[in-house]
Amino acid sequence: MSRIGKLPVAIPVGVTVTVDGNNVVTVKGKEGEMTQAIHPSIKVNIADAEVTFVIDEAFDCDAKQKQAYQGLYRSLIHNMVVGVSQGYEKKMELVGVGFRVSNQGNLVEFSLGYTHNIFIQLPAEIKVETKSERNQNPLIILKSCDKQLLGQVCAKIRSFRKPEPYKGKGVLFVGEQIRRKSGKSAGAK
C-alpha cells in the first residue's frame, strides 16, 4: 500500500496547478513552468490549495501497479511544485591538483588532468556558476527548477572524474565524505 501516494501536495502561494483532459498536469511558478503526463489509472484532484491522487478502480490494471503509480506521480508533482516555487541547487567541488572549471554561459570547460579539456553544453533550464578562489577547491553551482534534470547533469559531470578512494581526488558534492583506503604499504609486513 502506497503511503506516500495518499499524502496531499500543498500548493504554495504564487504557484498554479492545472490538469487538462488528457491527464497532463501543468505547474507554473516564479522559477518556471513544468508539465507531467499522468497514467490513466490515477485521477488528479485539485481543491483547497491541495493536489490529491486517487486510484481509478475502473481502470484495468494490477492493484500493486496502481499503488506504485499513485506514489510515483505524487512524488513527481511534489518535486515540480517545490521546483517552480523555490528551485533546486547542487554544489560540486573539484578535488585535485590542477583541476579547474570555467563557464561561458551554459558552456562549461573542465580541466581534470586528462590530455584535453572537457567541454559540456548544459540545457537552457539549468543555470551554472563557477567559483575559483585561491587555496580553495573550484566550485560548480548548478540551479534549476527540474530536480530530475539537475540530478542527471550532476551525474554526468561526476562521471568525468569519479572520486577515487586512495587520494580522494575527483568531482564530488560539497560535504560528501569519501571512504578512504590505505595504500599498498598498509598490507605488506
Same domain, 57 and 36: yes
Per residue in 10-69, pLDDT tens? Answer: 999 999 999 998 889 999 999 899 999 999 999 999 998 999 999 988 887 788 888 999
Same domain, 144 and 93: yes
Same domain, 31 and 56: yes
3-state secondary structure the chain: CCCCCCCCEECCCCCEEEECCCCEEEEEECCEEEEEECCCCEEEEEECCEEEEEECCCCCCCHHHHHHHHHHHHHHHHHHHHHHHCCEEEEEEEECCCCEEEEECCEEEEECCCCCCEEEECCCCCEEEEECCCCCCCEEEEEECCHHHHHHHHHHHHHHCCCCCCCCCEEEECCCCCCCCCCHHHHCC
- Asked if residue 185 has pLDDT above 80, the reply is no
Same domain, 148 and 98: yes
Same domain, 97 and 145: yes
Same domain, 95 and 169: yes
Same domain, 93 and 164: yes
- Asked if residue 189 has pLDDT above 80, the reply is no
Percent of the chain with pLDDT over 90: 74
The pLDDT assigned to 21 comes to: 84
Q: Would you say residue 21 lies in a domain?
A: yes
Q: Would you say residue 92 lies in a domain?
A: yes
Same domain, 59 and 32: yes
Q: Would you say residue 178 lies in a domain?
A: no
Tally of domains in the chain: 2
Distance CA 112, CA 71 (A): 40
Per residue in 109-149, pLDDT tens? Answer: 999 999 999 999 999 999 999 999 989 999 999 999 999 99
Q: In terms of Cα–Cα distance, which of 89, 85, 105 is closest to 144?
A: 89
Q: Would you say residue 184 lies in a domain?
A: no
**Which CATH number characterizes residue 145's domain?**
3.90.930.12
Q: Which residues are CB-contacts of 166 (< 8 A; sequence separation ≥ 6)?
A: 180, 181, 183
Same domain, 139 and 99: yes
Domain end: 52, 85, 118, which one? 85
Q: For the chain, what's the residue count?
A: 189
Same domain, 35 and 81: yes
Backbone torsions φ then ψ of 133, nearest 5 degrees: -110, 155
Q: In terms of Cα–Cα distance, which of 41, 36, 40 is closest to 9?
A: 36
Distance CA 161, CA 175 (A): 17
Same domain, 96 and 168: yes
Q: Would you say residue 187 lies in a domain?
A: no
Q: Would you say residue 189 lies in a domain?
A: no
- 124 to each of 143, 148, 150, how far by Cα in Å? 11, 14, 11
Per residue in 5-15, pLDDT tens? Answer: 889 999 999 99
Domain that holds residue 36: 9-85
Same domain, 57 and 133: no
